[in-house]
Amino acid sequence: MKTMILTTTEKNLLEELRRREIGMYRFRCWFLAIGVFSYIVAAYIAFQMQYLNRLGESPALAALFFSYALPCFYFIAVLGSVFIGTAIRDWRGNAIRILLIKLIDENTKE
């Protein structure tokens, strides 16, 4: 079986890939925390929209608040979903990076 011969650039790229994979383990908890915090902020915005709607003082003020707060609510909820989804997907590491590193290591052994 032939072995791969890597250039210095390819070796540097492989080391960068390993560093990213190791660093991702540290960031998964941060991604999860950012996602949960985003959900909390989105829930607070939703609560404020309901509270202002029940208050009933000024329908114009409620409409203005809804027009500004509803897109923020959607954006923050989607952002939280993306962060939590990324943390769950890469909880045990990115499968593509792990397989690529293993294949290269296996084919470069002498």
Chain segment 10-22, per-residue pLDDT in tens: 888 889 888 888 8
Residue 99, token pair as written in the block: 């397989």
Q: What is the mean pLDDT of residues 64-78?
A: 90
101-107: average pLDDT? 85
Q: How many CB atoms lie within 10 A of CB 35?
A: 20
Q: With contact defined as beta carbons under 8 Å apart, do 62 and 52 qualify?
A: yes
Domain hosting 17: range is: 8-108
Whether residue 3 lies inside any domain: the answer is no
Residue 45 lies in a domain: yes
Residue 25 has a pLDDT of: 81
Residue 2 lies in a domain: no
Query: Structurally, how many domains does the chain consist of?
Result: 1
pLDDT confidence of 102, banded at 50, 70, 90? Answer: confident
Q: What is the pTM of this model?
A: 0.73
Position 101 in a domain? yes
Cβ neighbors of 108 (< 8 A, separation 6 or more) are: 3, 4, 5, 6
Average pLDDT over residues 65-86: 92
Residue type, 73: F
